[in-house]
Amino acid sequence: MLSINFGNRSQVENSRLAAWAQPIVDINSNQIVGAELLARRIHTDGTTLLPELFLPNMLSAPDRLTFDAEMIRLAADFLANEGRDLPLDFVSVNVHSLHVASGALVPIVRQLLADSGADPHRLMIEATEHDDCPDIDSWRSNVERLKALGVRLAIDDFGIGYSNLTRLLDAPIDLVKIDMSLIQRSDDLRCRALLRGLVEFASEAQVGLVAEGVETNSHRSAAASLGITAAQGFLYGRPRPLAMLPNACRHNGGVVRPSVSGGIRVRSLAV
Ligand code: G
Ligand code: MN
């Protein structure tokens, strides 16, 4: 049985970083097409600590950069080893937008790709919209430098926080992940109109879209009827230890059975 809590400071000190993964599925076939890695810390006593505990302590830029690099290393190592032959289009990892805009991630990603031998195209960098990113010119040029390494770029949590339309327009983004707050109110006519515009933009700009926070069949069908082709959320599966992802991709040909109680069942997927 997985035991999870928010822990305390001394638990964080006696713990190691681990990656968990949440599937991203094709909204029509329910096939797993990608996975987002999410940070956890595993205490020496086996308890899993959630990022709400350890991430807020780490918002200063150098610590956060090291943290982002460690998560990218876990993703790259997975892609080069257990994930090498899985039919996954990408594995994504969250980074602070400021580290994209500053260029600080470029040498790190280059080095981690070289160290691991991972296929760069299968690594998706998610720049979160929780963080301000005031300098559009350096955003564009450093997104281009990252893309020159062969990796793909996603905008995460689009629609909340510091979402900035010029960031979409000015840089060669591959994927937009639409924040769950928009997906979960997509029966609201004005919200649907906004999402229709985003779908039209994505088709014109050849950018992929993921509906985040799909928890119910009505979230799923609203997103599908708008033309959003990929989804992520509790309907398909909660985050699970990364070691369980290969089984999830192989089980039933990688087709997830949507379930309001959580999609993938832990017990059927022994680590
Ligand atoms: O900001 P980002 O989109 O990277 O956050 C992913 C977070 O969203 C994870 O902590 C994950 O557990 C959570 N999450 C994923 N799917 C759902 C969902 O369907 N509903 C809710 N409420 N949270 C979700
Ligand atoms: Mn994310």
| pLDDT tens digits, 187-241 | 899 999 999 999 999 999 999 999 999 999 999 999 999 999 999 999 999 999 9
Q: Which is the closest atom of ligand 1 to the Cα of 156?
A: 3
Q: Is a pLDDT exceeding 60 seen at residue 186?
A: yes
Q: Ligand 2 mean position to 253 CA, how many Å?
A: 25
Angle between helices 217-226 and 189-205 (to 10 degrees): 50
Residue type (1 letter), 249 = C
Q: Which is the closest atom of ligand 1 to the Cα of 50?
A: 10
Q: Ligand 2 mean position to 2 CA, how many Å?
A: 22
pLDDT of residue 161: 84
pLDDT of residue 271: 30
The answer to whether 139 touches 102, Cβ cutoff 8 Å, is: no
pLDDT of residue 128: 84
pLDDT of residue 9: 64
Q: Is a pLDDT exceeding 80 seen at residue 44?
A: yes
pLDDT tens sequence across 93-149 = 999 988 999 999 999 999 999 999 999 999 999 998 676 777 889 999 999 999 999
Q: Ligand 1 mean position to 107 CA, how many Å?
A: 29
What phi and psi values does residue 152 have, to the nearest 5 degrees? Answer: -110, 155
Q: Which of 3-7, 32-36, 203-207 has the lowest mean pLDDT?
A: 3-7
Q: Ligand 1 mean position to 115 CA, how many Å?
A: 30
Q: Which is the closest atom of ligand 1 to the Cα of 130?
A: 1
Q: Ligand 2 mean position to 127 CA, how many Å?
A: 8
Q: What do you get for the CA distance between the two ends of the chain, in Å? A: 11
Cα–Cα distances in angstroms (integers) from residue 154 to residues 2, 229, 256, in the given order: 30, 15, 23
What is residue 220's three-state secondary structure? helix
Handedness of CA 98, 101, 105, 107 (dihedral sign): negative
Q: Is a pLDDT exceeding 80 seen at residue 254?
A: yes
pLDDT of residue 63: 83
pLDDT tens sequence across 6-29 = 456 666 778 899 999 999 999 999
Q: Which is the closest atom of ligand 1 to the Cα of 232?
A: 16
Q: Is a pLDDT exceeding 50 seen at residue 266?
A: no
pLDDT of residue 3: 53
Q: Is a pLDDT exceeding 70 seen at residue 4?
A: no
Residues whose beta carbons lie less than 5 angstroms from ion ligand 2: 94, 126, 156
Q: With a 6 A CB cut-off, is 129 part of the ligand 1 pocket?
A: no
Mean pLDDT in residue range 167-188: 93
Q: Ligand 1 mean position to 232 CA, how many Å?
A: 8
Going by C-beta distance under 8 Å and a sequence separation of 6 or more, which residues neighbour residue 48? Answer: 2, 3, 4, 5, 18, 40, 41, 42
pLDDT of residue 61: 65
pLDDT of residue 10: 67
**Exposure on the CB side of residue 72, measured as CA atoms within 13 A:** 31
Beta carbons within 10 angstroms of residue 81's beta carbon: 11
Q: With a 6 A CB cut-off, is 77 part of the ligand 1 pocket?
A: no
Ligand having the closest approach to the CA of 157: 1
pLDDT of residue 140: 94
Going by C-beta distance under 8 Å and a sequence separation of 6 or more, which residues neighbour residue 122? Answer: 79, 83, 88, 89, 90, 91
Ligand 1 mutation pick, 180, 256, 259, max ligand atoms within 8 A of CB = 180
Going by C-beta distance under 8 Å and a sequence separation of 6 or more, which residues neighbour residue 39? Answer: 17, 18, 19, 20, 51, 54, 55, 67, 71, 94
DSSP track, 90-107: EEEEEE-HHHHHHSTHHH
